[in-house]
Structures are given as C-alpha cells and as structure tokens.
C-alpha cells in the first residue's frame, strides 16, 4: 500500500495575463488522484502536491517557489505555468537541484540548457509552428514571405527562429514589420512593400487591430495569404470590438481565407492512451469537474481549458519519471525520500528519467527534445466562409505532412508571392 508520501510543488496562474491555472489546476488534481489510484505506479508512494497562485507574475511566482522550498516536506519537482514565471522559477530551481516541468510555457527563450539545465515542458514552444510554416510555403511554391509582429519577446524570438528556417529552405523574408501597440503604420508599410504571403505574430487583441487596418488597406483577398496563430478563442474577431473602429463583418471579410497553425495538444482520436483513458473520456471528466466546481455550463470559456491536457500529462510524466527513478535509486541503496535539494545524484536520476519520457497521454505522444521542449504535431486550418476547416497535420520530426486538399482560393488559383511582371512585347 502507498504508505510513504512523495511531495511536489505546483505554481498556478489563477489570474493575470494568462490565468491558465483556472483549468490546469483541476486537471493536475485529477491526474494526482488517478496516479495515486494506480497500484502499478509508485507502488509504495502517495504523490501529494503543495501549490499556490503566481498570478502569472514572476516576482510572486518566485515567492511561491521560495515558500514551497522552505516549507516541509521536501519537494521532488515543481510544476509551473506562465513563460515569464517559468523563466524565473527554472533559473532558481537549479540552485536547489530541482527539476521543473512547465504545463503552460510557450516562450522560445526557455529552450536553453545553459540557462535552464533542469527544465522540461509538456507545452510546446511557439517555434513549433515554424517548420509547419516553411512546409506550407514549400507546398504552394512561395519563396517571398513577409512578417508582421508585435514586439513581445515570445514573437521576437519566434520570428528569429523562422528567419533561420526559411533561409535554410531558400526562402526570403522580403518585408518585416513590428509594432508596439498600434499596427497602422506597419500594415501600411506591408501594403507599400507589396507583401503577399504574410505571417502574423501577435496576440488576439493586437490581431483585431491589425485586421481592421488590413480591411482599410485592402491587404486581403485573392492576391494575399495570411498565416496566423491558431490558438485564439473561437470567434475572437467578433468580440471586444469596442476599441476597434471596424465591425465584426469587416474583420471577417479581411480574415476570409487565412491560414492558421497551432500545436496539437489534445490527442486527436479516441484510442486508449497509456494513462488509462481516451482523450474524449478525459474531456468529459474535466468538463464534469469544471461545471461542478465553477457552477458553469460552457467549460471552453475557462482560461487554460485547451492546455488542461498538458497539465494532466505533466503529472503523469512526473509520476512515471519518479517511478523509474525509485527503481534506479534502490539499486544504489538510495531512496527518493533521501532527496534534500543538495543531493545532485538523485536529481541526475530524475533528470535522466524525465529526459527519456515517452508515453501516449491525453495530449498525444509525450516526449521531450534535448532542450526539454515538448515534441508535438501541428495542425493547419483555413477560414472558409467564416469557419475554420482542417487542412492537414504536420509531424516535423518525421517531416510528414498529412494534407486533405480542402484549401480554397478566392481567385480560383494559388496566389503568387509577388507581382508577376508581364513584359509587354
């Protein structure tokens, strides 16, 4: 029976710029219950978690980490959320020889073993979209690309990664625009530079401003293809229009035909996974839990709902790694309970167990790159007549593009990536 306790720390953003703890904390608690109900995992141990709210603020998150570390019992690992909190927590954690596992951090800056030697994340990096973007450019023969982004670090480093990848593929970024808060001039410049195939890197609130200007500049239609981020909420372009002087219909007209890329973070078929339930069963259980706890009906409105599978699988990744480590330590007459933030041998065992993680979770196959990044598929969609349609999936590790051939072109043919100059004889 599970008479010994193993403790982990949890840092959840319950408010702030990404309040993903709203859905991710319930998912983590569900996973802890499920793991503790299994007799074949951590047979002698009960996994328990001490946790607190970071409000997606790095200072508060660091204080929460400090309190977790200086309150008994010793924590073996820490779960973290937002990128800005995870960059602080993961840099501090190594001083206590702690592995950090983020369920909600997308910043490319976190892919850095020098700065974050003990960091892993079940949430993919924002750069996961880039090999997919290159694949789309190659599929449609586009070699001249434009980009427009807001100046936040996550988009800046995503753009830098994209530049490297397109160059390696013989594709040129012929125009690139950045804006701080007002995209009017950036959009005007793209028009002047005759940009045709345009990658947009910004959050949804900036996206509404950009596409109001795109509508006014007529930078849309059969000559243009926009590639946007796919994880904005449904109908993002019909809500919060108060500070935008365009209607939802005008934005929809400008957005017609645009492509989106996003990571696949919920297993796409209803096959049984390695965590003992199918993805639809997970969704049903999470919906039930959220409806009951929050007294709501539409669970998709809960912040962090899309990322909940990543949080659920993060607990399983920890449990499976600790399970493996317990066996390895026993061979050295050591135990997980010997961990004291100082014993680096135990951390090294936990690290190598985490590094070799490989299981099918509710978020799909869970495995990490050498930098601790989640390896995942991406999905490509297109807005056709105002609704998103799946165009295909891309597995960048196998370089395998599954394409359904559903794309629609306003002009009936693939748009060109630049003005075709017809020499008049």
Binding footprint of ligand 2BX on the chain (CB under 6 A) = 18, 20, 82-83, 104-107, 231, 307
Under a CB-based contact definition with an 8 Å cutoff, are residues 80 and 105 in contact? yes
- Which DSSP category does 303 fall into? T
CB atoms within 10 A of CB 239: 12
Is the CB of 83 or the CB of 378 nearer to ligand 2BX? Answer: 83
What minimum distance in Å lies between the beta carbon of 14 and ligand 2BX?
14
φ, ψ of residue 189 in degrees (nearest 5): -65, -40
- Which DSSP category does 332 fall into? T
| Separation between Cα atoms, residue 32 and residue 318, nearest integer Å | 10
What minimum distance in Å lies between the beta carbon of 182 and ligand 2BX?
23
Is the CB of 81 or the CB of 131 nearer to ligand 2BX? Answer: 81
Nearest-Å Rg of the Cα atoms of the chain is 23
| Separation between Cα atoms, residue 412 and residue 415, nearest integer Å | 9
Q: Which two tokens stand for residue 407?
A: 């794309």
What minimum distance in Å lies between the beta carbon of 11 and ligand 2BX?
12
Is the CB of 82 or the CB of 354 nearer to ligand 2BX? Answer: 82
| Separation between Cα atoms, residue 51 and residue 42, nearest integer Å | 21
What minimum distance in Å lies between the beta carbon of 333 and ligand 2BX?
41
Cis amide leading into 246 (omega within 30)? no
Is the CB of 106 or the CB of 176 nearer to ligand 2BX? Answer: 106
Q: Which two tokens stand for residue 360?
A: 């099918």
Under a CB-based contact definition with an 8 Å cutoff, are residues 263 and 232 in contact? no
- Report helix, strand or coil for 49: strand
Is the CB of 92 or the CB of 277 nearer to ligand 2BX? Answer: 92
| Separation between Cα atoms, residue 158 and residue 285, nearest integer Å | 35
What minimum distance in Å lies between the beta carbon of 232 and ligand 2BX?
9
Burial class (CB in 10 A: 0-12, 13-18, 19+), 422: exposed
Is the CB of 105 or the CB of 254 nearer to ligand 2BX? Answer: 105
Q: Which two tokens stand for residue 404?
A: 């359904």
What minimum distance in Å lies between the beta carbon of 261 and ligand 2BX?
12
Is the CB of 76 or the CB of 85 nearer to ligand 2BX? Answer: 85
What minimum distance in Å lies between the beta carbon of 179 and ligand 2BX?
20
What minimum distance in Å lies between the beta carbon of 320 and ligand 2BX?
23
Is the CB of 102 or the CB of 383 nearer to ligand 2BX? Answer: 102
| Separation between Cα atoms, residue 59 and residue 16, nearest integer Å | 13
Is the CB of 204 or the CB of 256 nearer to ligand 2BX? Answer: 204
φ, ψ of residue 331 in degrees (nearest 5): -65, -20
Residue spans of beta strands (DSSP E) within 152-254 = 172-179, 197-201, 225-229
Is the CB of 257 or the CB of 361 nearer to ligand 2BX? Answer: 361
What minimum distance in Å lies between the beta carbon of 74 and ligand 2BX?
28
What minimum distance in Å lies between the beta carbon of 191 and ligand 2BX?
29
Q: Which two tokens stand for residue 299?
A: 């669970």
- Which DSSP category does 243 fall into? T
């Amino acid at each position: 029976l599970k008479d010994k306790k193993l403790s982990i720390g949890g840092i959840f953003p319950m408010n702030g710029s990404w309040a993903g703890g709203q859905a991710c904390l319930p998912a983590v608690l569900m996973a802890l219950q499920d793991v503790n109900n299994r007799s074949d995992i951590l047979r002698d141990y009960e996994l328990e978690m001490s946790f607190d709210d970071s409000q997606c603020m790095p200072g508060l998150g660091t204080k929460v980490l400090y309190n977790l570390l200086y309150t008994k019992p010793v924590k073996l690992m820490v779960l973290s959320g937002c990128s800005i909190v995870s960059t602080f927590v993961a840099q501090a954690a190594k001083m206590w020889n702690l592995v950090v596992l983020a369920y909600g951090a997308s910043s490319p800056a976190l892919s850095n073993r020098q700065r974050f030697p003990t960091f892993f994340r079940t949430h993919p990096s924002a750069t996961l979209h880039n090999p997919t973007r290159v694949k789309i450019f190659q599929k449609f023969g586009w070699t001249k690309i434009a980009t427009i982004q807001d100046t936040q670090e996550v988009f800046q480093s995503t753009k830098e990664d994209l530049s490297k990848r397109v160059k390696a593929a013989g594709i040129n970024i012929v125009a690139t625009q950045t804006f701080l808060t007002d995209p009017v001039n950036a959009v005007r410049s793209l028009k002047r530079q005759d940009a045709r195939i345009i990658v947009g890197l910004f959050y949804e609130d900036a996206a509404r401003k950009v596409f109001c200007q795109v509508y006014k500049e007529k930078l849309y239609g059969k000559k243009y293809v926009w590639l946007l981020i796919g994880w904005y909420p449904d109908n993002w372009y019909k809500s919060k229009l108060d500070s935008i002087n365009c209607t939802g219909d005008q934005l929809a007209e400008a957005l017609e035909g645009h492509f989106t890329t996003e990571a696949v973070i919920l297993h796409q078929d209803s096959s049984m996974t390695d965590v003992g339930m199918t993805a639809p069963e997970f969704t049903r259980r999470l919906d039930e839990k959220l409806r009951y706890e929050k007294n709501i009906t539409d669970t998709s409105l809960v912040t962090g709902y899309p990322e909940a599978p990543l949080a659920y699988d993060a607990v399983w990744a920890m449990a499976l790694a600790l399970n493996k480590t317990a066996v390895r330590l026993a061979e050295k007459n050591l135990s997980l309970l010997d961990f004291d933030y100082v014993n680096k041998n135990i951390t090294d065992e936990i690290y190598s167990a985490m590094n070799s993680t490989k299981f099918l979770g509710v978020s799909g196959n869970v495995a990490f790159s050498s930098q601790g990044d989640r390896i995942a598929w991406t999905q490509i969609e297109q807005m056709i007549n105002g609704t998103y349609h799946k165009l295909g999936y891309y597995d960048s590790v196998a370089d395998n593009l599954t394409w359904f051939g559903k794309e629609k072109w306003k002009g009936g043919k693939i748009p060109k990536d630049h003005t075709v100059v017809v020499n008049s004889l």
